[in-house]
Structure 1
């Protein structure tokens, strides 16, 4: 499901338009991430800058939510470290998953793993055939 479709579905569920600002509790629920984690990410990722109103209440724009969704995917789904995600964001490489290019190191690792797998399959076949 594309990010815009997910955002539209989430907005229908809470009665807000897709372009409406969200509170930290709404974003926390939408992304399935605790509120304290969102606050922590604000300290680690300078690009996450929700609007703050009276009493320090946070309001997230749709683009903030998409960035947080991508950070979550990189950290939890793709196994990046915080430093790794910071580097990607600095270099402009933290695009949404549908359009992200494969990292060269990952391609090299995948090629190595494929080579190892091929070797193991060849060894298995040799053992089977005696």
Structure 2
């Protein structure tokens, strides 16, 4: 899954949920379940997600929705292999973007 968000310092929970095509309640649930998600909250209590939070959400989404991990399995996987998982995830995303570009080139030929 490729997430389309404009470059900003902070994203609202609505923007994040729309980008991931999930409900805001799922984002709030993952925030409670995964320690790596620490969005900032303003005086009203509205969550503001940083680009780093978005990367963590992408990884959680990948593990839970795309690879079929249970929540407990994803938590354990993140705790035990966090850096290794992040590195692999970045490589996968780069390869996916390269694939999209190659498909565009192929279609133009």
Mark yes or no: TM-score above 0.5: yes
Q: Secondary structure at the match of 1:80?
A: coil
Once the two structures are TM-superposed, the CA of residue 46 in structure 1 deviates from its matched residue by 0.8
Distance 1:99 1:87 in 2: 21
Higher Cα radius of gyration? 1
Structure 1's consecutive aligned runs of 4 or more residues displaced over 6 angstroms after TM superposition are: none
Query: What are structure 1's unaligned runs of at least 5 residues?
Result: 12-17, 101-130
Q: CA RMSD in A?
A: 2.0
Matched residue pairs, number? Answer: 89
1:99 aligns with 2:99: no
- Give the corresponding residue for 2:99: none
Aligned 8 A contact 1:51 1:59 in 2: yes
Q: Secondary structure at the match of 1:79?
A: coil
- Give the corresponding residue for 1:37: 26
Q: Secondary structure at the match of 1:59?
A: strand
Once the two structures are TM-superposed, the CA of residue 89 in structure 1 deviates from its matched residue by 1.4
What TM-score do the two structures reach when normalised by structure 2? Answer: 0.72
Once the two structures are TM-superposed, the CA of residue 72 in structure 1 deviates from its matched residue by 0.7
Distance 1:53 1:19 in 2: 16
What TM-score do the two structures reach when normalised by structure 1? Answer: 0.61
Query: What are structure 2's unaligned runs of at least 5 residues?
Result: 93-109
TM alignment of 1:78-93, pairs within 5 A: 78-91=67-80, 92=82, 93=84
- Give the corresponding residue for 1:57: 46
Q: Secondary structure at the match of 1:33?
A: coil
What does the per-residue CA deviation read over 1:71-105, in whole Å, with 9 as the maximum and x for residues that have no partner? 011111001110111012112143152437xxxxx
Q: Which has the higher contact order (CA 8 A, sep 6+)?
A: 2
